[in-house]
Amino acid sequence: MRIRYKKWARPELEASPFYVDNPENERGIWRELFKSPTNPLYLELGCGKGNFIANLASTHKNINYIAIDLVDAMLGLAKRNVEEVYKERNLETDNIYLTRFDIERINLIFSKEDKIERIYINFCNPWPRGKHHKKRLTHTRQLEKYKEFLKPGGELYFKTDDDNLFMDSLKYFEEAGFEIVKKTFDLHSEIDFWENIETEHEKMFSEQGIKIKALIVK
**Mean pLDDT, rounded, for 135-158:** 97
The Cα 181–Cα 150 span in angstroms is 16
Calculate the CA dihedral of residues 131, 137, 141, 146 and round it to 10 degrees: 170
Angle formed at CA 147 by CA 39 and CA 34, multiple of 5 degrees: 20
Query: Which band of pLDDT confidence, cut at 50, 70 and 90, is reported for residue 203?
Result: confident
Residue 164 burial (C-beta neighbours within 10 Å; 0-12, 13-18, 19+): exposed
Global pTM value: 0.95
Give the count of domains, the chain: 2
Instruction: Tell me the per-residue pLDDT of 171-187, one tens digit each, with 9 for 90 and over.
Output: 999 999 999 999 999 99
CATH code of residue 119: 3.40.50.150
* pLDDT of amino acid 191: 82
**Among 82, 110, 138, where does a domain finish?**
110
Same-domain pairing of 127 and 83? no
**Among 58, 87, 110, where does a domain finish?**
110
Same-domain pairing of 105 and 138? no
**Mean pLDDT, rounded, for 21-35:** 97
Check: CB of residue 54 under 8 Å from CB of residue 81. yes
* pLDDT of amino acid 2: 65
What are 45's strand-pairing partners?
68, 121
The Cα 107–Cα 175 span in angstroms is 20
**Among 80, 110, 140, where does a domain finish?**
110
Q: First-to-last CA distance in the chain?
A: 28
Closest by CA to 170, choosing from 108, 113, 104, 216, is 216
